[in-house]
Amino acid sequence: MIFPSAFPLCVCVVAALVRTAIAAPSDIKPESPCLKLFHYESVNEPGRWTGNLEVNSEDELHGVWIRVIFDSPVKELIAEGYEVVLSKDRKNEALIKNKNILLKAGSISNIKITGKYDGDKFPNLIEYRLNAKTICPAYNTLRTDLFEGDDNSIQFLSSILSRTKPPSYKPTFECGLKRSDVYPWQAAVSITKDGKDQYICEATLISTSHVILPAHCVTFSSDDESVPENILSVTLAGAKDTLRVKNIIVHRGYDPNILIDDVAILELDAVLKISDNVRPICLEGTDGSIDSLVLVGKAVEADQKIGNQALETIVDDVDTGDCALKNPELAALLGDNSVCVSYPSGKSACTGSSGSSIISRVNNVATLRGIVIVGPLLQDKNQCNADTTTVGINIARYYKWILRSIS
């Protein structure tokens, strides 16, 4: 994951660990691409190794998150002064984190690490990332697919063009039509916690088996790792059945630190039948002038709770520059892929939470223009007016990615 230029992060991570001669046999000597940055201090106990990780940054870091990836499963990982989270789905990955650490520019932090593993296969480090930036491998010397100059790369362009053909997605239904009292594309996502289902975000139906929503709704709060599919459930405004999630597709550019590319798609475990109460929204607009730009989502009530019923509010499109002036604290979240809207003056209640849909209508056909990532409640507001702004992502910027994900 790459940080935008506005937030340069030049990081040098050096892990100096010297293996002892008493170590296990030579056939388990690590041969990862990270050897110059990561070595093991001791492996003199079967199934156990220790080391010291030295972290050095040229920029000030508020909180440290290190994701380590090995070539085989790790049973246990302990880092002094840090919390370690082993991935449940990928047994060879772990997250070392401490959100309270302030690492000043030029300073060094040493982390003593102890790892345990089963069997004879020594888990060699093959990749790690610091605060969402890949540090190792910086360059993979084993790969041969290099660009060797225009005169030696005759297949270069044809290969690129073959990979960039527009994805094919031709729905066999009419999208974006509202023929009943419900918004047939509006969905709610819940998470199972302590044995109970808890509503977390809204989502929008974009195919007969996919909904779209912010990535921060379905990832852990400190990094870009998605939560387990089996703790998520989806309900549609026009359907009674609760749907399970088959797959979570998080945009590969998602940065939880500044909510860049904050978008994800959930693949449902069932194919829905189209009706007046269940119908995906359109992703491409039809020709003609826009009748209205509206925000469809749950109301934020006076007690700063999210209501149950989806409401519709006319909103005004705001230039991202003006949006930053209205709410300077949101300026860091605004970019080329952002959309910003404000509310009419004199409104007594706010509408919209994470995942609410920003739609336009042409000839009564609704097209998805954006999804909300920062609504009023996240800004500690329950009254909306022309000075209140809501930030979302611009769906048009992700059209090809969406089609590839659902095709």
User: At which residue do the structure tokens 């991935």 appear?
Assistant: 87
Mean local confidence (pLDDT), 186-212: 93
pLDDT tens readout for residues 304-361: 677 777 788 889 899 988 999 988 888 888 888 999 998 887 654 578 889 999 999 8
Domains of the chain: 11-136 (2.60.40.290), 186-278 (2.40.10.10), 292-394 (2.40.10.10)
Q: What is the pLDDT of residue 9?
A: 40
Lowest mean pLDDT among 43-47, 218-222, 250-254, 375-379: 43-47
pLDDT at 278 over 50: yes
Confidence of residue 290 (pLDDT cuts 50, 70, 90): low
Residue 13: pLDDT over 60: no
pLDDT for the residue 149: 80
Question: So what's the pLDDT on residue 229?
Answer: 93
- CA dist 394 and 334 (Å) reads 11
Residue 274 pLDDT: 93
pLDDT beyond 80 at 102: yes
* Residue-wise burial string across 146-167, b where 16 or more C-beta atoms lie within 10 A, e elsewhere: eeeeeeeeeeeeeeeeeeeeee
Greater confidence, 379 or 40?
379
Structure confidence at residue 1 as a pLDDT band (50, 70, 90): very low
CB 286 within 8 A of CB 367: yes
**Tokens (6 digits) for 230:** 């089996």
- Res. 72: pLDDT tops 70: yes
Distance CA 345, CA 7 (A): 35
User: What would the pLDDT profile of 116-137 be if each residue is shown by its tens digit?
Assistant: 998 887 788 888 788 777 777 7
CB crowding 169-204: b at 16 or more within 10 Å, else e: eeeeeebbbbeeebbbbbbbbbbeeeeeeeebbbbb
The model's pLDDT over 27-45, given as tens digits with 9 standing for 90+, comes to 444 555 666 677 778 777 8
152 phi/psi in degrees, rounded to 5 = -120, 10
Report helix, strand and coil shares of the chain as percent, to nearest 5. 10, 40, 50
Q: Which residue has the higher pLDDT, 280 or 130?
A: 280
